[in-house]
Structure 1
Amino acid sequence: MILWRRNMYEDFERYISSFSLEREPGDYWYDCAILDATEILMRFDDGDWEALLRGLDSKSIFWKRRLVQCLGGLHVQNEIEVILRVIDTQDEDLLVDCIDSLRSLGLSRLGRLEREKIMLGARLISINYSSPVKEVLEDFFENFGSES
């Protein structure tokens, strides 16, 4: 007997796309939709993660921001892989979202080059940061430094 399984990546793609069309999606994204999107990610299998990673380069900055905002609490290796793929960006908001999500992940298993890439990105945005970003960066540097 073959069991049918929903394609969770397609569900996630449809769901998150409606929140990636505008720069600021409003309170609904942060109050409710981010939780629903994270729930979908929690049901991803290896095939879903592979599909997400394959299509990542073609996604808009805003789509990537919504994705990264869902990461950090799933406790799967794919979170770090996704963040490392998008952290090399000129978009400061996406970079801050990546650093914010990385704060809750165990980074001790990362290689030296991956750690340097992350630190470079964090240092670049620390030059002109606002108060909320400053807090994110200070917490990140504190936690990241303790894992070295």
Structure 2
Amino acid sequence: MYKQLDILLSAETTVDSWYDDGCVIATEILEGFNPDEWDILSREAWSKPLNWQKKLAYCLDSTREMHEFELLLSLMTIEDRELFVICIDTLRSYTSPEHKQRLMHEPLLLERVSAALSEAGITKRRVLEDFLRELTV
């Protein structure tokens, strides 16, 4: 399953085809992952191109799977503003008290969100503001 996901995330696609079809297929593949595949993905994600990482972050929205949450937190540490905002956008679906508590205690998270807000355009600003609002509700 990991190999299938890697091939999909590595494929050159248009933005429309990725958001219309690719991310749905990637999410379905991720739903079939076993613990060993999650371990491989967690290790391999660091060495992949930035575009691959962005596609992955967009697909990690299953709030049932703790591996996805941990991987998103890991991807947020990569120094790229767009990847960071994609991770924040995806984390908005993690609304359980446990997830919120973990995010509130994540080192430097709120500081990075504030820094991203100062440079964000309208769309990204809304994502970041919504994340902060949901985090404190």
Deviating 4+ runs (over 2 angstroms): none
Counterpart check, 1:125 vs 2:121? no
* Counterpart in the other structure of 2:10: 17
- Tell me, in whole angstroms, the C-alpha distance in 1 between the residues paired with 2:63 and 2:8: 18
Residue 85 (structure 2) aligned to one of 96, 100, 109: 96
Q: Is the Cα–Cα contact under 8 Å of residues 69 and 97 in structure 1 kept in the other structure?
A: yes
Counterpart check, 1:64 vs 2:56? no
TM-score of the aligned structures, taking structure 1 as reference length:
0.83
Give the alignment's Cα RMSD to 1 decimal.
1.7
Residue type of the alignment partner of 1:135: R
Secondary structure of the structure 2 residue equivalent to 1:88:
coil
* Counterpart in the other structure of 2:18: 29
* Counterpart in the other structure of 1:78: 67
Secondary structure of the structure 1 residue equivalent to 2:19:
helix
TM-superposed deviation, 1:42: 0.7
Q: Percent identity?
A: 30
Unmatched runs of 5 consecutive residues or more in structure 2: none
* Counterpart in the other structure of 1:145: 136
TM-score of the aligned structures, taking structure 2 as reference length:
0.89
Q: Is the Cα–Cα contact under 8 Å of residues 64 and 86 in structure 1 kept in the other structure?
A: yes
Residue type of the alignment partner of 1:76: E
Q: Is the Cα–Cα contact under 8 Å of residues 65 and 97 in structure 1 kept in the other structure?
A: yes
TM-superposed deviation, 1:134: 1.3
Question: Which range moves more in the overlay, 116-125 or 129-138?
Answer: 116-125
